[in-house]
Amino acid sequence: MNEFELIAKLTRALPTNESVVAGAGDDCAVLDLGVTDKLFLFKTDAVVEGFHFTCETPPGKIGRKALARCLSDIAAMAGAPIAALVTIALPQSFEPGFVGKIYDGMNALAREHGVAIAGGETTTNPERILISISLLGTVQRGKQVLRRGAKAGDAIFVTGELGGSLAGKNLDFEPRLAEAHWVAEHFTVHAMIDLSDGLAGDLRHILNASKVGAEILKSAIPISRAAKRGGASLPTSRLTGTPAPPKPPLLAALTDGEDFELLFTIASKDAVKLLDAWRKKFPNLKLSCIGKIVPGEGILIRDKSGSHKLNAHGYVHFT
Amino acid sequence: MNEFELIAKLTRALPTNESVVAGAGDDCAVLDLGVTDKLFLFKTDAVVEGFHFTCETPPGKIGRKALARCLSDIAAMAGAPIAALVTIALPQSFEPGFVGKIYDGMNALAREHGVAIAGGETTTNPERILISISLLGTVQRGKQVLRRGAKAGDAIFVTGELGGSLAGKNLDFEPRLAEAHWVAEHFTVHAMIDLSDGLAGDLRHILNASKVGAEILKSAIPISRAAKRGGASLPTSRLTGTPAPPKPPLLAALTDGEDFELLFTIASKDAVKLLDAWRKKFPNLKLSCIGKIVPGEGILIRDKSGSHKLNAHGYVHFT
C-alpha cells in the first residue's frame, strides 16, 4: 500500500462535525467558525531531513521552505494566512545555532506575509530533523477555491515555469498568495491547486475531484531553464543520493515535484481577458494557458502528431 | 542547551500580529479571529515512538494518546475542541493495519468529544513513527484561563491522583475537558495548566508566569496507587529501556510526567464552596486542595517538621 492508497483508506472514516465545510482531500481544510463573511483554512505540512532537505541545506532555507509549503496551500484556496504553530523534532545532539537559523528563515518569511508564529513545540527525533507546521488562514466566504469545481470547457492555467525544482527552486520558491488572491477576486476560478507533486499528478487531483478529463497542449507547457539544463541529473532520492536517470525536459516539467506554482481553471470565455489583465498586474510572472478541461477522465497531451494518453505515473511515451 | 532553554531563546523573537491574544508560553495559543463572543485556541503536540509509546503499545492507544494530549491542553485553557489535523510520519515499511488502528483509536476519542479530524498529511520518517496533531478550539471570550494569573493567597487545586503514569495511565487518561469547563463557568479560575511534566515542574510554570511562589502541604498531595506500588521501577527512558532508580511515592507524584490532570488556582475564599460543588458534580474524580500561592518565588513543601524548598529538578531532600 503506498501513501496515496493509505490516505484514501484513512480519510474514508474520519470524524466530522458542523464546522467542516471541506475536510481531507483538498489543499486545506475549510472550516465555518461562525464568522459572517469569512471561512477559515486549516493546513498542516511537514518537511523531513533526507527527503525535503539535507544536512547540507542552509538552515534558513529549511525553515523558510517548511513555512512556504503551507503558505502555498493557503494560496491554492485563494486564502490569506493568519497564524502558524511549529513543531520541531530534533536529535538529542542538536546544534542550537543551527536550529536558531531555521527559525530565522521561517520568521523572515512569516513577517513578509504578516503571519504570526503563535507557538509550537519541540520534541525528540533521534535520527533526523522533522518540522511540522500547522497554519490557520482565512478566505472570504464564497471565494474559497476547491479542487472539485473544474468544468468541461474550462481553460487550464499554470503560473511560472515547471520542472527541475530540485536544482534550487524547491528551497526558494515564492508562495503565490497575492496572485491567487487577485485571480479569485477578479475571475470565477472553478478549481485550483498548488503544484507539489508535479503538473501531471496535481492536474490529476483536480480531474479526479471534479470528475472530468483534460487535454493539454505539449507546446504550451512552460518548461523551466533548470528542467531544460537537465536538473533531473540531480539525485531524486536525497536520502540515498542515488542519481536519477536523465529526464527529458518535458517529462521533468510534467512530473518533477515541488514547483509550488498555481494550477487553476476558469471558463474559457474569460481566458483572454485574464491573460491581458495578468500581464499588467504581474509582469514578472508568466501565466500560461496549457489546455482545456474535457468530459471523461485522464490527461491527453496533444502535439503535431495527435493526442497521447498520459499514463498513471505521469510518463508519456514520446519525447 | 536543553529543550527549555532552546524554547526560551526561540520564542523571544517570534513574529506576531493583531490576531494573537496569547502566543508561545501557555498551553495553547489564544487567537482573536473577529468573533464577538469567542476566542480561538490553537495547539500542536507530537508523540514519538520510543519516547511517548513503543512498538509494543497497542496502536489504538497510540492514536488515542496523540489526540488526548492536545485535548488536555484545550482543557487547560477551559476551552472546547473543534477540529484537528493529523500529520503522521511513517517508516517506508509501515504496516497499513497498524496505522489504521492508530486512526481508529484517535477517531473514537475525537467522536467522544465532538472533534472533527479535518485532514492532515502523511510523510516519511524511516526510523520511527511520529504523530503531530494540531487542534483548533474555542473559548468564551473572557473565560480563557492562562498560566499567568495566579495571585498570592490563592488556593491551589489538583484533580485526580498523581505519579506512576507510565504504569498505564499515560495511554488511558481522560482529558479533563468537562471539569475544566465547569470550574471556569462557576468560579473565577486565576491560572490553570495540565500536568504533562509532573506536578513540581508544571506548578513552576504557573509560578514563573505569574511571578509568585507556592507552599504545598506534603500530606495533601494525592498520590496514585501506581506511584505507591512503585511505578517508578518502570524504565523512564523507554528508548533505551534503562530501568530508573526506584522513586519514593511522593517524589513520583511530584515529578512523574504525563498525569494529564488539571492544576489550577482560585481565590482561597472560594475554596470550600468549590470542594462542595465539585463533590456533587464529579463524585468519581478527586479534587485536592494542595496548598496556597505565596509572594516570592519557588516551591516550599510543608510537613510536620517545617517548610522545605523544592529544588530546580523537582527533588526534595526528605522522604
Q: Is B307 on the interface with A (CB under 8 A)?
A: no
> A19 vs B128: CB contact, 8 Å cut-off?
no
Write the pLDDT tens digit of every residue in B11-62.
888 999 999 999 988 889 999 999 999 999 999 999 999 999 999 999 999 9
Task: Please report the pLDDT score of residue B247 as a whole number.
Answer: 86
Task: Please report the pLDDT score of residue B25 as a whole number.
Answer: 84
Q: Is the pLDDT of residue A317 over 60?
A: no
Higher pLDDT, B38 or A243: B38
Query: Is residue B46 classed as helix, strand or coil in its secondary structure?
Result: strand
Which residues does chain A have within 8 Å of residue B2's beta carbon, measured at their own beta carbons?
none
**For A297, how many CA atoms within 13 A lie in the half-sphere containing its CB?**
6
CB within 8 Å of chain A, chain B residues 17-56: 17, 19-20, 23-26, 28-29, 31, 33-35, 38, 40, 42-46, 48, 50-51
Q: Is the pLDDT of residue A318 over 70?
A: no
**Across A100-108, average pLDDT:** 96
CB within 8 Å of chain B, chain A residues 203-232: none
Task: Please report the pLDDT score of residue A232 as a whole number.
Answer: 45
Virtual CA dihedral for A9, A14, A19, A24, nearest 10 degrees? -20
Q: Is B97 on the interface with A (CB under 8 A)?
A: no
Which residues does chain B have within 8 Å of residue A128's beta carbon, measured at their own beta carbons?
125-127
Q: Are B109 and B72 in contact (CB under 8 A)?
A: no
Q: Is A134 on the interface with B (CB under 8 A)?
A: yes
Q: Are A148 and B49 in contact (CB under 8 A)?
A: no
Task: Please report the pLDDT score of residue B231 as a whole number.
Answer: 55
Nearest Cα of chain B lies from the Cα of A188 at a distance, in angstroms, of 26
Q: Is the pLDDT of residue A183 over 50?
A: yes
- The CA distance from A232 to B285, in Å, is 62
Q: Is the pLDDT of residue B273 over 80?
A: yes
Q: How confident is the model at residue A316 (pLDDT cuts 50, 70, 90)?
A: low
The H or E element containing residue B266 is strand B262-266
Grid coordinates representing A256?
A: 518533477
3-state helix, strand, coil in chain A (%, to 5): 30, 30, 35
Q: What is the mean pLDDT of chain A?
A: 92
> A42 vs B117: CB contact, 8 Å cut-off?
no
Q: Is the pLDDT of residue A56 over 90?
A: yes
> A48 vs B123: CB contact, 8 Å cut-off?
yes
Write the pLDDT tens digit of every residue in B222-251.
999 999 998 544 444 454 556 666 789 999
| B2 residue type, one letter | N
Closest among A279, A72, A268, A42 to A178, alpha carbons compared: A72
Nearest Cα of chain B lies from the Cα of A44 at a distance, in angstroms, of 6
| B210 residue type, one letter | S
Rg (CA), chain B: 19
**Across B273-289, average pLDDT:** 98
Which residues does chain B have within 8 Å of residue A38's beta carbon, measured at their own beta carbons?
34
Closest among B186, B204, B182, B187 to B195, alpha carbons compared: B204
Nearest Cα of chain A lies from the Cα of B165 at a distance, in angstroms, of 19
Q: Is A1 on the interface with B (CB under 8 A)?
A: yes
- The CA distance from B129 to B106, in Å, is 15
**Across A256-264, average pLDDT:** 96
Task: Please report the pLDDT score of residue A242 as a whole number.
Answer: 60
Distance of CA A204 to the CA centre of its chain: 13
Nearest Cα of chain B lies from the Cα of A27 at a distance, in angstroms, of 9
Of A3, A44, A116, the CB nearest to B120: A44
CB atoms within 10 A of CB A242: 9
A vs B, Cβ pairs < 8 A, gives 222
Q: Are B85 and B105 in contact (CB under 8 A)?
A: no
Higher pLDDT, B47 or A1: B47
Of B23, B89, B127, the CB nearest to A46: B89
Grid coordinates representing A228?
A: 531544460
Grid coordinates representing A230?
A: 537537465
Task: Please report the pLDDT score of residue B316 as a whole number.
Answer: 53
Closest among A7, A2, A182 to A80, alpha carbons compared: A182
Q: Is the pLDDT of residue B74 over 60?
A: yes
Nearest Cα of chain B lies from the Cα of A206 at a distance, in angstroms, of 17
Q: Is the pLDDT of residue B213 over 80?
A: yes
Of B15, B44, B110, the CB nearest to A107: B15
Nearest Cα of chain B lies from the Cα of A247 at a distance, in angstroms, of 25
Task: Please report the pLDDT score of residue A10 as a whole number.
Answer: 85
Task: Please report the pLDDT score of residue B38 as a whole number.
Answer: 95
> Cell 488572491 belongs to which residue?
A181
pTM: 0.93
Task: Please report the pLDDT score of residue A244 as a whole number.
Answer: 63
The H or E element containing residue A102 is helix A96-112
Nearest Cα of chain A lies from the Cα of B113 at a distance, in angstroms, of 10
- The CA distance from B206 to A36, in Å, is 37
| Mutation for B interface: A4, A16, A104, most B CBs within 10 A | A16
Q: Are B289 and B271 in contact (CB under 8 A)?
A: yes
- Starting at the edge strand found earlier in the chain, the sheet holding B29-31 runs B20-22, B29-31, B38-48, B130-140, B80-90, B116-124
Which residues does chain B have within 8 Å of residue A130's beta carbon, measured at their own beta carbons?
89, 123, 125, 130
**Across B158-187, average pLDDT:** 96
Task: Please report the pLDDT score of residue B244 as a whole number.
Answer: 63
> B29 vs A119: CB contact, 8 Å cut-off?
yes
Q: Are A272 and A133 in contact (CB under 8 A)?
A: no
Grid coordinates representing A261?
A: 506554482
Q: Is the pLDDT of residue B174 over 60?
A: yes
Q: How confident is the model at residue B9 (pLDDT cuts 50, 70, 90)?
A: confident
Q: Are A146 and A231 in contact (CB under 8 A)?
A: no
In this structure, the strands spanning B80-90 and B116-124 are parallel
Closest among B110, B140, B78, B111 to A34, alpha carbons compared: B140
Q: Is A272 on the interface with B (CB under 8 A)?
A: no
Q: Is B36 exposed, middle or buried (0-12, 13-18, 19+ CB in 10 A)?
A: exposed
Residue A266, strand partner residues? A155, A189
* DSSP per-residue codes, A189-231: EEEEEE-SS-HHHHHHHHHHHHT-EEEEEGGGS-B-HHHHTTG
Please state which of the ranges A292-301, B6-15, B267-276, B287-296 shows the lowest mean pLDDT: B6-15
Instruction: Give ipTM to 2 decimals.
Output: 0.92
- The CA distance from A158 to B186, in Å, is 56
> Cell 517570534 belongs to which residue?
B14
Distance of CA B266 to the CA centre of its chain: 18
Grid coordinates representing B44?
A: 500542536
Closest among A287, A304, A308, A317 to A214, alpha carbons compared: A308
> A9 vs B100: CB contact, 8 Å cut-off?
yes
Task: Please report the pLDDT score of residue B26 as a whole number.
Answer: 87
Virtual CA dihedral for B176, B179, B184, B185, nearest 10 degrees? 140
Of B118, B121, B128, the CB nearest to A20: B118
Task: Please report the pLDDT score of residue A293 as a whole number.
Answer: 98
Query: Is residue A268 classed as helix, strand or coil in its secondary structure?
Result: helix
Write the pLDDT tens digit of every residue in A106-149.
999 999 999 999 999 999 999 999 999 999 999 999 999 999 99
Q: Is A120 on the interface with B (CB under 8 A)?
A: yes
Q: Are A258 and A266 in contact (CB under 8 A)?
A: no
**For A49, how many CA atoms within 13 A lie in the half-sphere containing its CB?**
18
Q: Is A91 on the interface with B (CB under 8 A)?
A: no
Question: Domains of chain B (ranges plus CATH)?
Answer: 16-140 (3.30.1330.10), 155-309 (3.90.650.10)
Q: Is A97 exposed, middle or buried (0-12, 13-18, 19+ CB in 10 A)?
A: exposed
Axis crossing angle, helix A3-11 with helix B96-112, rounded to the nearest 10: 30
Handedness of CA B247, B248, B249, B254 (dihedral sign): negative
Virtual CA dihedral for A280, A281, A284, A286, nearest 10 degrees? -80
CB within 8 Å of chain B, chain A residues 237-266: 239
> A86 vs B44: CB contact, 8 Å cut-off?
yes
